[in-house]
Amino acid sequence: MLKIDLSGKNALVTGASQGIGRAIAGKLAQAGARVAGHHFSHAIDGVDHPGGSRVQPFQADLSSPQQAKQLFHSVVESFGHIDILVNNAGLAIDSPLDLDDERWLNDWQYILNVNLTACGILCREAVRHFQGRGGGRIINIASRAAFRGDIAAYLAYASSKGGVVALTRSLARAFGKDNIQSFVIAPGFTRTKMAQQFIDIHGEDLVLKDIALSRLTEPEDIAPTVAFLASGLADHATGCTIDINAASYVH
């Protein structure tokens, strides 16, 4: 059995208080990493978190570019350095086209700020930090929606995740000679609070008809792949996208 050892590594995981981010932070910590677990409104309890005391909480509102940048520097100040960045934080808002102009545009901008702009800021800070340390790894959580699109009420979400994919591939091409690798994980429907909100609005049948396997993907189904990419065992896959969506979409 392949054993992932991240002993001595420091990682920053955004959106680490629940869902996919919580599972990722826990898996990295269990593999030996010291993890900075970003949260916005759901505080991280080290006793109850799967990563235990190896996950240290850091609060930031990623809709603010200033707070996104400060988050990275706060972790560096506390930990000394960062080896692994996992951009997982994201949101989806049901925003149909028939909303009034102001509300639709506010939804659009808020989603892009959190899902794409903050990701870009953190990647920029990470690249500059990694260049001074001889390398590092970036793992960005996108979505199948980046490739197959989404329903009309989620145009901003799909667009933001498409941007994450392009950003990640560009980083891989631009900074590989600096020993900086970047990867995309593209989940499908995963049993999270965000997915449940979609199900509550649009119905469970819309989800289940797309799933090839017998159960919905869980956050714990995604976390091991992130740990594998973080380990350095797949560095020559830099720039790749790994689909984890129970064959609901294969590109």
Q: In the structure, what pLDDT confidence band is assigned to residue 63 with cuts at 50, 70 and 90?
A: very high
Residue 99 maps to a domain: yes
| Residue-level pLDDT at 216 | 84
Taking the C-alpha atoms of residue 34 and residue 20, their distance in angstroms, rounded to an integer, is 18
CB atoms within 10 A of CB 148: 16
Neighbours of 53 (CB within 10 A): 10
Per the prediction, the chain carries an average pLDDT of 92
The whole-number pLDDT of residue 147 equals 95
The better pLDDT of the pair 52, 191 is held by 191
pLDDT in tens, 29-50: 999 999 999 999 766 655 466 6
The CATH number of residue 227's host domain is 3.40.50.720
Number of helices and strands (H, E) in the chain?
9, 7
- Confidence bin at 152 (pLDDT 50/70/90): very high
Measure the CA–CA gap between 233 and 130, rounded to whole angstroms.
18
Count of domains forming the chain: 1
**Domain for residue 113, yes or no?**
yes
Please say if the pLDDT value at position 233 is more than 90.
yes
Q: Give a yes or no: residue 3 inside a domain.
A: no
The answer to whether residue 190 scores a pLDDT higher than 90 is: no
Residue 66 belongs to a domain = yes
Residue 48 lies inside a defined structural domain of this protein: yes
Q: Which pLDDT score is estimated for 44?
A: 62
Distance CA 90, CA 209 (A): 24
Express each pLDDT in 83-99 by its tens digit: 999 999 999 999 999 99
Domain span at residue 38 reads: 10-244
Who's near 164: CB < 8 A, 6+ residues apart? 87, 115, 116, 119, 140, 141, 142, 146, 184
- Is 173 contained in some domain? yes
Please confirm, yes or no, whether 110 is among the known catalytic residues. no
**Domain-embedded: residue 250:** no
pLDDT at 203: 76
Residue 1 lies in a domain: no
CA dihedral 192, 196, 198, 202 (to 10 degrees): 150
CA-nearest of 144, 80, 230, 45 to 16 is 45
